[in-house]
Chains A and B, each alone.
Chain A
Amino acid sequence: MRRVKRVATIILAAVFIFAGAVSAREVYGLSSGTVDFYTGNALLEEWRIPEARAFVDDLMERTPEDTSALLLDGHVRFFEGDYKGALKRLDEVGVTGAFRELVKVTSDIAAGFKSRSSEHFEIFWENPKDEVLAEPALEGLEASYSELSKLLGFRPEGRVRVEIYPTVADFTAVSTLTREEVETSGTIGLCKFNRLMITSPRATFFGYRWRDTLCHEFAHLAVFRLSGGNAPIWIHEGLARYFEGSWRGRSGRMTPFALNLLSKRYSEGTLIPLDKMSPSVAKLPSAEDTSLAFAEVGTMVSYLIEHRGGEAPRRLLAQLAEGRGDREAFSEVWGGTFASFEEEWRQWVEKLSVPAEDLEVMGIALKDSGGEPEQGKIPDPEAKDYTRLGDMLRTRGRMEAASVEYEKGFRLLPDNPAVVSKYALGRIFLGEYQAALDAVAPVISLYEDRSSLWMRKGEALLALERYDEAASAFNELMEINPFDEPGRVGLVRALSGSGREEEHARAVKDLELITGGAPSGAHP
């Protein structure tokens, strides 16, 4: 379908050029303005923005008053990130409707943007505190760029626009996702309209792997551009998942949690069919389904690359760019039928060990949802009760008593991340740092995205004066929740203890950025 479109566009463009040559204003019943508009839009659809710009500039020079030219210019400006200019153009031609509203709201939100650039990226943020993300984001993205340029040969023209939204409401407004989709699937980043967009981790209670997310979205950009927009969702997500850790040399790494989830759902026969992932994994009914979908497609790509080499993704995308169907393209790269690939992959999944207990998938906890959610569920009501009692005592400054209750809970559920986190908190208060580390260690390996576990680990290590390890733990925490003030404080102290002056200075600066110079230091 997309191929047909491209052909039509080229034909139309050719017709236009021909028609222009003969100075005819009518081509097969379509005005030349209409043809121009469709031509420009076809370029935009493939996010070939520089080409679209050249096209529209030429058009504007020839027919500066033409409505279609102005309209197209508005569209191109939007894709270029010139929201204000785009809105002006649209208003000039009197356009109303959904697109104009999208441009308007984007323009309004972007009005307060500040930015910083690296060689290939320009990052924008609105809330001053989000500046703390800018540098690490650029570092991560450049690293990812470097990897993807090597692995996929992807080198986008100009700087890639990256936008960090201060609230979920802003993110949903500009992304066209609904809040429900964000909350259900945990989709908090998006690659759309030729730019990368994420919601600031500050808008969530417990954060998320925000740099992985940025690089994941950058991978989407690469997949889109390299496939000419022809990649189906499952390949999109599979490749993005595979490459999201590329910035830190972890391409293709599946977390133990993801593998456990995959194994569990496979054993239950409840894997998500590839076709069900369209139009977006964000539209799957639960956070667990979304995680599973990522695990499925991520491991598929991993399996492909593992068995067919690092060139496989590039070849796959090239096949798609040529207009081949997903399974056809995949078969081509796999060197066999898709069914044979799927069968082998299933056999591989089957060999994964099935976890003994249910795994808990945490969705994104948004701050403007009201209330403060617990970080994780506690399935055993009795353990939950003890933890609740501990929390009640803790919030009243009775930490010693709370640690007794936390211990009771821990005795019942020693593998639950929420219980373990609270138990470790109690142990740290009592000065039993090693006990805290011992409790956290087995759980954090499975639930490596739980910020609270990293916090406990960092605190215990800091108390044990194992500063380098503590700094690592706190850095890991910053990957999840860079706005965690106690975590930032812990990082500063750990870096100070380890004598890493440069990093320490930067950490202090970052701490000042998120606290406005007055860290609260409150313990969560």
Chain B
Amino acid sequence: MSARASLSSKVAGLRRRILFLGLLAVFSEALCGFLAPIIILSGLFPLFPDHPVALLAGAAFMSLLLMALTAYTGWRRVRPLRSSVEAATLLGADGDIVELIVTGSDLAGWGEEGASARGADNALVEAQIELAKERSAALSSSAAFPLSRNLASFVKGALSIILFVVVILAAPGGYERAFMTLSGEGPNPPLTVGNLSLTVNPPAYTGLAGERLDGVSGDVEGYPGSSVTLEGRLGYPVDAGLWEGPDGVAIPVTVSGARFSVSWILGKPGSYRLSFEKMGKDAPANFTARSISLLEDERPKVSLHLPEADIEVPAEVEVEVVWSGSDDFSVSRGDLVLSGAEEVRIPLDMKAGPEVEGRRSFLPIAYPSLGDGAYLKVELYDSDDVTGPKSGASKSIYISFLSQRKLRADLEALEERLFEAMLSYLGDHLENLAPGEDEKSALEETGRKLLTLLDALTERAAAGLDEGVFGMSAVATIEVSLRRAVDLYLTGEGNAQLLIGELERDILFIDDLLKNLRMEEALTLGDELSALQTDLFERMMMGEDTEALMEAVEQIENMLQEIFKKISSQEGEMPDSFANSDAVKERPDDEMSSLLKELKEALEKGDRERAAKLAEELMETLNKWLEELEGAADESMNGELSPEMKELQALMSRVTGAMAEQERILGETRKLTEEAALEALRAFKEREADWLAEQYKRITLAENNFRAMERLVDREALHGKEVEQALKDSYLDARKHFFDTGRALREDLRNDLGGALARAKIFPEALDRIRDLTREHVAGQPPGNPLEEARARYEELYGGAREALEAIIGDLEELLAGRDDYLEATALEALKSLAGDEEKLKKGIGDIEEALGELAGKSPFIPGDLSKKAGEAGKSAGEAGKFMGEGAPFASLPGQGMTIQKLSELAKGMEDASNGAQPGAGRGGGGNRPHGQDGLDRSRVKLPAEVEAEQWRAFREDVLKRMREGNYPKNYEEEVERYYKRLIK
């Protein structure tokens, strides 16, 4: 290659290098300038997400500007060489070389022809060129323009690219969104939702006014059913919006420009959202989910005031329910809910309001579907017509319906079983009055079976008693005597006649009882019927619906048929006088059936006025008839009494009255003597110690004398093997009695002087008894001493002891009599009046005595000793009255007490007689028999009096009540035992 070409090549190469590197540097600089704003502004997208286009525009502008500037400045810095000189200059280290190179280059550039043309020597030119070539060979373009000169630019460019990539990768979306926005394919910009206001209108039932709240967050709170309207302003107008609530409920939002509103009804709690659309795309609103809270409409609060706690009531007695209730808004209605075998709801009558109260009665038997009992509560409903009325319930209590009828039916079945068994057993005995061995064994076996049955029935009867049915006591009443009679027969201690008598007596008793029970059952039905009728009337007045009333009428019809059936003895015999009474025979079947029919017709037609009138008429007819029926039952109960027995019963009340009068006089007398007794006691206290010591000394003397007497007795005669056990026992018993009396007397002397006197009086008797047992066995003691001497000594000792005891009695009598001295004048005056009363009492008792004497003459069933007993009572009253008249009230007290005792015995005797007992008559069979040696009670079994039954019921109810309260009565077990004992008394 020629120098020229070489040099040109060098220069061209340098130029290219400079141009290449320069342009590369300019590019790098420009790239850096371009990317830097983009990178920097990309960080603003998250800060200004709503302005992607603005940011993009800003970034583009700044990039282009910066790119232009950097390109310009870069280009200025790295512009290509404009001449060979510049190239040579740049290549060469000194001027010569530059010159040479430039020349050589020029020459080379001229070519041969050009050089010739310019007059240049060719050789020179060649030399020049050669030199230039030589020299230029050493020149290096990389040395003339090293890469390092543009390295910073390159680095900048590279860094820009890297940062750009990093930024793009790390925070994508901003520019993309901006570009999509610019291209028209991107999402809507974020939408601001603000200036919210809420209008909440509570549901009508609450009665609350609506409320508008401005500047709210959007969280909603209100009662279910409230109407809510949300209004607000948007960041930019949108085309549509949607409200999305709980459970996916969606409601379109009304949009008007940049304003929106939406209304919905509060139903469920949760949250809601708003979404908007623009141009068919989501306009991302800055409205996050807002809460919906429901205010709770409280349930009505209900209080049950009556009944207070679990109760037991007769099914035919109305139960009164008293209640009250309240609600945050209003109680609109309520039910009395009875949950028994089935549920019954009885609407409550009330005036709607936030505070309500009322009372409602219901008749258990009017609702037979309830069964034997029901849980009772009151349910009240509020007026919530949005989610439906909410109910509140009172506490629940349990009511047991005591169905007298059911209990009686149970009882009847129970008694009938026993009745049949006893009758069969009686038949067995009567058909085998002289049984052989086999027959006797069979009779004994049957007897044992009867006892087994009796056991079972007694157990059930006890349960029946617990149910409060007095008739249940029938089994208990006869149990003891029947069991004993059978036992005696089985053990061979009693003969068959005793058992037959007992069976006859008990069978008659149960037969009577069953008849009376059936009658009672009919009356109970009557009571229930009356209660049902009254209930129907009341329900009618309360406007109960026709269907329920018709049911009630049908129930009355059914019960009426039942009672008619029962009183016509189709379900077993009733007492004859009752069954044959006018009330039974002329029952108003037709009249009542006709009224009921008319009543049903009136109800069906909706003629309430006529129905009420008919119901009233029905009620009157029924009550009149039931009254007659009860009268017939009363007459039946008393009907079989003879006139003498009726008079006897009348006299019984006079005896009871006399007892009460004597008790009054005794009480008054005691009051009068109290003061005097206290005074006397005070005076006595001063000398009590000496006095007591004296008495104790006497008692000790008597006891010592007795021991000494014992020592004079032949022990073998009292305790020897030959002596009969009975005699030994008798002696030991008498001895014990003597010393016991002494001990008791010491005690009485300290505490009860009146009692001490009574005790002291039996002391000599105790001494005498021992003397009687020992006197004949006195022996010379010690052995060998003369018997006579021993006997004399024995008598002396006895005399001493007896004297001491008499002295005690004398002292006591003197002491007690001395109390009269302490009586004040006023007390003595009052005593005179009491003495007059006692005299009148004595006369009254005398009249009773006379009347009883006459009655005994008229009726063989009234024993004569009743009159005698009355005479004894009169005598005691007379003695007491005499003492009182003499101003000796203390002395009258024993007489008064004796009068009460005798009158009490008289009353018992009269009661026995009136119940058919005739002690001493001994005619055997049928119930009128005396007590026998076998200990069997021969008196006629009597039905417990109604008053007793009342007492039992009261006791039982008390026990039950306390048990419910967890508070068992004091001595509960003993009381219950007494309760049962009374039943079989």
| A398, CB-defined interface residue at 8 Å | yes
Q: CB-CB < 8 A to B927: which residues of A?
A: 382, 385
Q: Nearest CB to that of B430 among chain A residues?
A: A401
B residues 893-947 near A (Cβ < 8 Å) are 916, 923, 925-928
In the assembled complex, the CB of B625 is this many whole angstroms from the nearest CB of chain A, namely: 15
B residues 391-443 near A (Cβ < 8 Å) are 420, 423-424, 426-431, 433
Contact indicator A405/B430 (Cβ below 8 Å): yes
Contact indicator A371/B923 (Cβ below 8 Å): no
Contact indicator A371/B925 (Cβ below 8 Å): no
Residue from the list A374, A381, A383 in contact with B576, Cβ < 8 A: A374
Contact indicator A370/B585 (Cβ below 8 Å): yes
Interface size counted on chain B using CB atoms at 8 A? 33
Q: Nearest CB to that of A179 among chain B residues?
A: B586
| B984, CB-defined interface residue at 8 Å | no
| A79, CB-defined interface residue at 8 Å | no
| B756, CB-defined interface residue at 8 Å | no
Q: Nearest CB to that of B570 among chain A residues?
A: A370
In the assembled complex, the CB of A371 is this many whole angstroms from the nearest CB of chain B, namely: 4
Contact indicator B573/A371 (Cβ below 8 Å): yes
| B865, CB-defined interface residue at 8 Å | no
Contact indicator A404/B926 (Cβ below 8 Å): no
Q: CB-CB < 8 A to B423: which residues of A?
A: 392-393, 396, 398
Most chain A beta-carbon contacts within 10 A, residue among B507, B585, B586, B923: B585
In the assembled complex, the CB of B419 is this many whole angstroms from the nearest CB of chain A, namely: 9
A385-B504, A388-B508, A396-B423 known; A180 vs B569 contact (CB < 8 Å): no
CA distance A382 to B505 in the complex (A): 11
CA distance A404 to B945 in the complex (A): 33
Q: CB-CB < 8 A to A404: which residues of B?
A: 430-431, 433
Contact indicator B925/A370 (Cβ below 8 Å): no
Q: CB-CB < 8 A to A393: which residues of B?
A: 423, 426-427, 430
| B451, CB-defined interface residue at 8 Å | no
Residue from the list A374, A385, A386, A401 in contact with B427, Cβ < 8 A: A401
A393-B423, A401-B431, A405-B430 known; A381 vs B584 contact (CB < 8 Å): no
Contact indicator B426/A388 (Cβ below 8 Å): no
Contact indicator B916/A381 (Cβ below 8 Å): yes
Contact indicator A382/B580 (Cβ below 8 Å): no
CA distance A374 to B429 in the complex (A): 26
| B618, CB-defined interface residue at 8 Å | no
In the assembled complex, the CB of A390 is this many whole angstroms from the nearest CB of chain B, namely: 9
Contact indicator A370/B568 (Cβ below 8 Å): yes
Q: CB-CB < 8 A to B427: which residues of A?
A: 393, 396, 398, 400-401
A208-226 vs B, CB cutoff 8 Å, 1 = contact: the mask equals 0000000000000000000
Contact indicator A392/B511 (Cβ below 8 Å): yes
A352-392 vs B, CB cutoff 8 Å, 1 = contact: the mask equals 00000000000000000111011000000111111011001
Q: CB-CB < 8 A to A264: which residues of B?
A: none
Q: Nearest CB to that of B918 among chain A residues?
A: A382
In the assembled complex, the CB of A304 is this many whole angstroms from the nearest CB of chain B, namely: 39
| A408, CB-defined interface residue at 8 Å | yes
A373-B576, A374-B576, A389-B426 known; A382 vs B586 contact (CB < 8 Å): no
For the residues of A in contact with B, the DSSP-based class is helix
Q: Nearest CB to that of B569 among chain A residues?
A: A371
A369-B585, A370-B579, A389-B504 known; A382 vs B928 contact (CB < 8 Å): yes
A385-B504, A400-B431, A408-B925 known; A371 vs B426 contact (CB < 8 Å): no
Interface size counted on chain A using CB atoms at 8 A? 25
Contact indicator A389/B508 (Cβ below 8 Å): yes
In the assembled complex, the CB of A381 is this many whole angstroms from the nearest CB of chain B, namely: 7
Contact indicator A392/B507 (Cβ below 8 Å): yes
| B582, CB-defined interface residue at 8 Å | yes
In the assembled complex, the CB of A376 is this many whole angstroms from the nearest CB of chain B, namely: 12
CA distance A179 to B585 in the complex (A): 10
In the assembled complex, the CB of B685 is this many whole angstroms from the nearest CB of chain A, namely: 63
Q: CB-CB < 8 A to A388: which residues of B?
A: 508, 511
Q: Nearest CB to that of A397 among chain B residues?
A: B427
Contact indicator A381/B424 (Cβ below 8 Å): no
Residue from the list A373, A405, A408 in contact with B580, Cβ < 8 A: A373
Contact indicator A401/B580 (Cβ below 8 Å): no
Most chain A beta-carbon contacts within 10 A, residue among B430, B508, B576, B927: B430
Q: CB-CB < 8 A to A408: which residues of B?
A: 925-926
CA distance A300 to B522 in the complex (A): 49
In the assembled complex, the CB of B641 is this many whole angstroms from the nearest CB of chain A, namely: 11
| B567, CB-defined interface residue at 8 Å | yes
Q: CB-CB < 8 A to B426: which residues of A?
A: 389, 393, 401
| B574, CB-defined interface residue at 8 Å | yes
Q: Nearest CB to that of B928 among chain A residues?
A: A382
In the assembled complex, the CB of A433 is this many whole angstroms from the nearest CB of chain B, namely: 20
CA distance A381 to B512 in the complex (A): 13
Q: CB-CB < 8 A to A371: which residues of B?
A: 568-569, 573-574, 576, 579-580
A residues 427-473 near B (Cβ < 8 Å) are none
Q: Nearest CB to that of A368 among chain B residues?
A: B585
CA distance A387 to B267 in the complex (A): 85
Contact indicator B430/A400 (Cβ below 8 Å): yes
CA distance A222 to B574 in the complex (A): 45
CA distance A385 to B500 in the complex (A): 14
CA distance A401 to B926 in the complex (A): 15
B residues 421-469 near A (Cβ < 8 Å) are 423-424, 426-431, 433
Chain B positions within 8 Å of A, measured between CB atoms, are 420, 423-424, 426-431, 433, 504, 507-508, 511, 567-569, 573-574, 576, 579-580, 582, 584-586, 861, 916, 923, 925-928
Closest 5 CB pairs of A and B: A385-B926, A401-B430, A398-B427, A371-B579, A401-B427
Chain A positions within 8 Å of B, measured between CB atoms, are 179-180, 369-371, 373-374, 381-386, 388-389, 392-393, 396, 398, 400-401, 404-405, 408, 412
A and B contact pairs by CB, cutoff 8 A, 21 listed:
A179-B585, A179-B586, A370-B579, A370-B585, A371-B580, A374-B576, A381-B928, A382-B927, A386-B925, A388-B511, A396-B420, A396-B424, A396-B427, A398-B423, A398-B427, A398-B431, A400-B431, A401-B427, A401-B428, A404-B431, A408-B925
19 additional A-B residue pairs with CB within 8 Å, beyond A371-B579, A393-B423, A398-B430: A370-B584, A371-B569, A371-B573, A374-B576, A383-B926, A385-B508, A385-B925, A385-B926, A386-B926, A388-B508, A388-B511, A392-B507, A396-B427, A398-B423, A400-B431, A404-B431, A405-B504, A408-B925, A412-B923
